[in-house]
Each structure stands twice: as structure tokens, then as C-alpha cells.
């Protein structure tokens, strides 16, 4: 899988926010995405999933242009968005949530990750099968949201601040799981985070956006040699 953005321009109405954003992401890689409030991180993910139109530039998935495709077609191709505030169904049990999303996203024999697989990958979730999603702790809800995004054949998961509201040890646990699962299953991720050090721990690449323009785009090794805060 290769997701490539070439000189993406996108924004709201006639107004452009992103100024020629380009990046490449391959199988199993995690791209940590940093920037100040209002820099354009969420806008970038919205353009990738299709919530806002791409005004200029190209978005390619394995060489196929996807920037004109509707959201549903991008979801079907394995691009998943985990929005800030968690994509869960608060009134449903964990089991019912997983069953419903599995029914929609998993084709028998043709899917990479089915309901048994998510329980095996996330054993703590299996123990919560009968709990109501809205009554789970913040960390548990975040794990459930991640599990729902994994069902089917995800190729690239867009994660928006998954650490919000989590105590530090749960952040490390969740990020450890993300790293393990992405590596093991060859799923790639773009990880928007304000917890820079935690995100750096699991990243392969780092991207920093400032007022809509990428000011750093490089390997984690390169990012470790610079003062990241100087780019904010």
C-alpha cells in the first residue's frame, strides 16, 4: 500500500488552508503529524478521507487517483478515520458494536481483520464484550474505536489525537498496540498528536505543519536530530 499526497491544496469554501502538502506513506508505517492549534492537521485528514474537497493537487492510493472519490469509496479502499472524540456507538455493547461494524466491513473469507481477530489482537476488549460502550473509561473507548477501525481490510488509519483524556500509562499501552498491530498487519497510520514524545516512540516518519504548510517531513531519525519545537 502506498498513500501519496502531491501538492494538496484544500480548505473550506473558497478559502485554501493547506498549501501544497505532499507526503508518502507505505505499508505498516506510522507517520506522526504535529503542528500548532489551527495549523491544518485535521484539515489534511479531512481532505484525505474526503470530508472536504481537494482543490488542487493529487491523492493517490497505490497509484490510483482517489481525490475525486466520495468518502464511501475511500472507506471501501481501506482508508479509515478515527475522529477526535472517538467513533463509537455509546448505547451499544462492545459485542454489538463490533458485530455491526463487522457485518458492514467484513466479507467472508475476503477480509484481513474479522471480529475474532480484533478480540485476539485486543484481549482487554474481549473481557469487556458485554459492557455498554458509553460506560467504558476513556481509554477503553479509544481501544474500542481503534478496534472498529480495524475491522475489514484497513490499509491506512487516520488517527486524530487518540490520547486525548487518557492517563499516561494508557497512552503508552494504546500506542504500543497501534505500533504492534500496524507492524504485524501491514496497516499504515497517520497519527495526529500533541503528545509528541509518545508519538515519536512509535513513528517511522514525522511531519510538521505550520499555517497550512509542511515545514518538516522526514524520517524519525532525522526528526531526532532537530529541535522539533523550533518548527511550531
Ligand X SMILES: Nc1ncnc2c1ncn2[C@@H]1O[C@H](COP(=O)(O)OP(=O)(O)OP(=O)(O)O)[C@@H](O)[C@H]1O
Q: Where does residue 143 rank: exposed (0-12), middle (13-18), buried (19+ CB within 10 A)?
A: buried
Nearer to Mg ion, 42 or 97 (CB): 42
Q: Write out the residues near Mg ion by the rule CB under 5 A.
A: 42
Query: Do residues 90 and 131 touch, judged by C-beta distance below 8 A?
Result: no
Q: How far is the CB of 62 from Mg ion (least distance, A)?
A: 27
Q: Of residues 1-20, which lie at the interface with ligand X (CB under 6 A)? A: 12, 17
Tell me which stretch binds ligand X (CB under 6 A): 35-43, 124-132, 143-151, 162-170: 35-43
Q: Does 50 bind ligand X (CB under 6 A)?
A: no
Region binding ligand X by CB under 6 A among candidate stretches 38-46, 111-119, 197-205, 213-221: 38-46
Report yes or no: 151 and 105 within 8 Å, Cβ to Cβ. yes
- 37 binds, options ligand X, Mg ion, none, Cβ within 5 to 8 A by partner type: ligand X
Instruction: Using alpha carbons, list the distances in angstroms from residue 85 to 63, 81, 145, 189, 191.
Output: 32, 12, 10, 18, 14
How near is the Cβ of 93 to ligand X at its closest, in Å? 31
| Residue choice 32, 34, 43, 94 for contact with ligand X (CB under 6 A) | 43
Q: Which runs of E-coded beta strand occur in the chain?
A: 2-12, 15-16, 21-26, 30-35, 54-61, 64-65, 79-82, 156-160, 188-192, 205-210, 213-219
C-alpha cell at 55: 482543490
Position among 1, 8, 29, 40 found at the interface with ligand X (CB under 6 A):
40
- For ligand X, the binding residues (CB under 6 A) are 12, 17, 35, 37-43
Amino acid at each position: 500500500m502506498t498513500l501519496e499526497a502531491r501538492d494538496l491544496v484544500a480548505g473550506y469554501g473558497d478559502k485554501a488552508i493547506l498549501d501544497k502538502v505532499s507526503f508518502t506513506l507505505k505499508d505498516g508505517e506510522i507517520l506522526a503529524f504535529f503542528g500548532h492549534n489551527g495549523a491544518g492537521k485535521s484539515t489534511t485528514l479531512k481532505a484525505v478521507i474526503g470530508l472536504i474537497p481537494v482543490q488542487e493537487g493529487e491523492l493517490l492510493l497505490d497509484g490510483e487517483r482517489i481525490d475525486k472519490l466520495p468518502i464511501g469509496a475511500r472507506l471501501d479502499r481501506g482508508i479509515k478515520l478515527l475522529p477526535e472524540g472517538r467513533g463509537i456507538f455509546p448505547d451499544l455493547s462492545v459485542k454489538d458494536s463490533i458485530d455491526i461494524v463487522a457485518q458492514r466491513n467484513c466479507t467472508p473469507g475476503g477480509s484481513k481483520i474479522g471480529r475474532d481477530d480484533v478480540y485476539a489482537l485486543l484481549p482487554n476488549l474481549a473481557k469487556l464484550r458485554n459492557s455498554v460502550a458509553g460506560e467504558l473509561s476513556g481509554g477503553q473507548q479509544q481501544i474500542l474505536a481503534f478496534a472498529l477501525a480495524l475491522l475489514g481490510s484497513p490499509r491506512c488509519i487516520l488517527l486524530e489525537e487518540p490520547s486525548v483524556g487518557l492517563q499516561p500509562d494508557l497512552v503508552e499501552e494504546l500506542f504500543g498496540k497501534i505500533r504492534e498491530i500496524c507492524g504485524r498487519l501491514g496497516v499504515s497510520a497517520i497519527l495526529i498528536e500533541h503528545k509528541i514524545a509518545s508519538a515519536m516512540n512509535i513513528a517511522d516518519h514525522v511531519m510538521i505543519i505550520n499555517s497550512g504548510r509542511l515545514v518538516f517531513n522526514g524520517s524519525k531519525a532525522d526528526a531526532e536530530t532537530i529541535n522539533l519545537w523550533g518548527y511550531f
